[in-house]
Amino acid sequence: MNIIKVKNYEEMSQKAAEILLDKVRQSPKMNLGLATGGTPVGLYRELVQDHQQNGTSYTQVKTFNLDEYVGLSGDDPNSYRSYMNEKLFNHVDLPRESTFIPRGDTNNPGQECTDYEALLKNHGGVDLQILGIGSNGHIGFNEPGTSFQSETHVIELTASTREANARYFNSLDEVPTHAITMGIASIMRSKEILLLVSGESKREALAQLMEGEVNENFPASILKTHPCVTIIADEAALGKLAI
Ligand code: GLP
């Protein structure tokens, strides 16, 4: 894993945008894997700003999001579809039909998972996957204990993940109990991965990733076995980690 140390959240977002924009300009037909959560908000802001100022075009890009809450429709303000529309898709020239996110309001989540995995494969897989990390080491919504062999599946969210994400909802009760997420194997098939880590709340997770063993109880640890991972981490997340 290649690690890039940056000062703070702003620098992390700028560096991530720089790397992503280089790829999009080199390969305008690329498949981008996208993440949600607080971490990539700054990256999306940078992409929107670049699109407005420099006109980088996404007309041929396809995007594949990692996950979606089960039970929320794309119109629900807390769905990841709404998040993506608001933070990125509404502000760049990416055709809406080229943006893929698992459907949360399906009445057959199992089938939705099979279809999503097939969709990923039919498009030739993700070229560059953006990832954040949960404080328990989750990537996408792959909670501790998820098989490294897993493909897109339904997962029951842990109490700590629901609590961490409750800040976006009116109350903890409203946070869905399940999500559809790309599996660990699906994520690992990405040709390249960019993991963003910012803030003191991620310090333990980053230390565990850098110093711990590869183990299903810490899902992000699998990234150590991927041939092309770059981590962009800020000083608050790095703490005393010697790199
Ligand atoms: C969320 C998302 C993940 C994200 C992680 C960290 O629940 N499903 O894709 O990377 O948890 O979120 P944040 O960036 O808000 O800390």
pLDDT above 80 (res 210)? yes
In this prediction, residue 151 carries a pLDDT of 98
Taking only the tens place, the pLDDT of each residue in 108-161 is: 999 999 999 999 999 999 999 999 999 999 999 999 999 999 999 999 999 999
Amino acid letter, 243: I
List the CATH number of the domain containing 71.
3.40.50.1360
- The answer to whether the CB of 35 is under 6 A from ligand 1 is yes
As a whole number, the mean pLDDT across the chain is 97
What percentage of the chain has pLDDT greater than the value 90? 98
Instruction: Please identify which of the residues 143, 151, 153, 234 carries the catalytic annotation.
Output: 143
Would you say residue 214 lies in a domain?
A: no
Would you say residue 211 lies in a domain?
A: no
Would you say residue 140 lies in a domain?
A: yes
Nearest CA to ligand 1 atom 9: 140
Would you say residue 215 lies in a domain?
A: no
Q: Is 8 one of the catalytic residues?
A: no
- The answer to whether the CB of 39 is under 6 A from ligand 1 is yes
Please tell me the total count of domains within the chain: 1
Query: What global pTM score does this model have?
Result: 0.97
User: What is the residue range of 58's domain?
Assistant: 2-201+220-238
In this prediction, residue 241 carries a pLDDT of 83
Would you say residue 190 lies in a domain?
A: yes
Would you say residue 209 lies in a domain?
A: no
In this prediction, residue 242 carries a pLDDT of 66
Would you say residue 210 lies in a domain?
A: no
Would you say residue 104 lies in a domain?
A: yes
